[in-house]
């Protein structure tokens, strides 16, 4: 829609940004972590697609199965939500995980890993590995499991793969990452080049979240906390989606380059004009295309034969 006179066209991305700013405006220094988590869950609660939601304890980790009609029992996507390791939950990410399940035709197990500051690194990673072992204990082969996650959850996708590799465990078939947070030192050039374009995530905020996760004596270059600094040999195929407006853009771009140099099969998609984890906002038209692409990637690597289109 073209603007006329003093009118300014309001885009779907603008509306998504305002949704985020409305949440942040309600927070002060006195707002408790519990209230922040409750607000975030309330802002993104709901489910826009027809999947069955089944609560589950995944080896003691609280979680939820999201099951589309006709999904094969022997395949699964293990989903790790974002939120800077501080907020976010199965509830806040139910719609995103459900849309991935619906589009791919695959069951998704979304988990509530432990959050900081109550539970600092490596508690979240430990929970991710427990959930992976739970799926294997249910009879699923690693070749029939994929990992997926956004932001801090994308970090866990990589960290869980690296930890599993280092422990001699078989790796999942593939990993799908949306705006992954891979470098807790926040050293990427995009923190400067995208500072004005990114409406929310500035370097100061990212470093504060990293300290909250690691604790005051934690090492942000620990490869299991910052996978960008890890030895990336032996990873399965990866799909990385990121918005071009993000300050954390280079967490994806640099990760993809380093993983490719280590021999991994990596597809990097940089989405023009998109914000951090734009896939959470169904009102953004590009979201449908991004989820469809992610679903094709998951179906191909999990060998799910029947084709499904997102509803």
Burial string for 17-35 (b: 16+ CB within 10 Å, else e) reads: beebeebeeeeeeeeeeee
Q: How large is the greatest C-alpha to C-alpha distance in the chain, in angstroms?
A: 64
HSE on the CB side for 112, CA within 13 Å? 16
Which DSSP string corresponds to 227-254?
GGGS--TT---EEEEEETT-TTHHHHHH
Measured at the CA of 94, the angle between CA 81 and CA 278, to 5 degrees, comes to 65
Phi/psi for 299 (5° steps) reads: -60, -40
- Do the beta carbons of residue 276 and residue 254 sit within 8 Å? no
Which of 151, 179, 190, 226 is the catalytic position?
151
Q: Is 151 a catalytic residue?
A: yes
Contact 86, 116 (CB under 8 A): yes
Distances (CA, A) of 281 to 45, 218, 278, 285: 12, 33, 6, 9
Contact call for residues 176 and 298 (beta carbons, < 8 A): yes
Instruction: Give catalytic residues, as residue numbers.
Output: 151
């Amino acid at each position: 829609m073209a603007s006329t006179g003093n009118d300014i066209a309001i885009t779907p991305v603008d509306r998504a940004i305002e949704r985020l700013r409305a949440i942040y405006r309600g927070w002060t220094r006195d707002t408790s972590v519990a209230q922040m988590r409750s607000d975030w869950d309330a802002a993104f609660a709901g489910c826009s697609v027809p999947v069955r939601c089944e609560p589950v304890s995944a080896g003691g980790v609280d979680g939820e199965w999201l099951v589309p009609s006709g999904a094969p029992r022997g395949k699964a996507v293990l989903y790790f939500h974002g939120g800077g390791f501080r907020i976010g939950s199965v509830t806040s990410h139910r719609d995103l995980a459900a849309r991935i399940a619906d589009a791919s035709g695959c069951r998704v197990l979304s988990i509530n890993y432990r959050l900081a500051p109550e539970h600092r690194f490596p508690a979240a990673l430990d929970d991710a590995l427990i959930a992976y072992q739970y799926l294997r204990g249910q009879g699923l082969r690693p070749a029939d499991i994929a990992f997926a996650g956004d932001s801090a959850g994308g970090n866990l996708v990589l960290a869980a793969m690296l930890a599993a590799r280092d422990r001699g465990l078989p790796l999942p078939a593939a990993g799908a990452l949306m705006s992954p947070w891979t470098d807790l030192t926040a050293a990427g050039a995009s923190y400067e080049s995208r500072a004005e374009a990114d409406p929310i995530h500035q370097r100061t905020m990212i470093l504060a979240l990293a300290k909250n996760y690691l604790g005051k004596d934690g090492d942000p270059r620990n490869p299991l906390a910052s996978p960008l600094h890890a030895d990336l040999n032996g990873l399965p195929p990866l799909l990385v989606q990121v918005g071009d407006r993000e300050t954390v853009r280079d967490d994806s771009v640099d990760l993809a380059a380093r993983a490719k140099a280590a021999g991994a099969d990596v597809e990097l998609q940089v989405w023009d004009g998109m914000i951090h984890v734009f896939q959470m906002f169904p009102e953004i038209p590009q979201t449908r295309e991004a989820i469809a692409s992610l679903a094709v990637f998951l179906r191909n690597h999990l060998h799910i034969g029947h084709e499904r289109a997102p509803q």
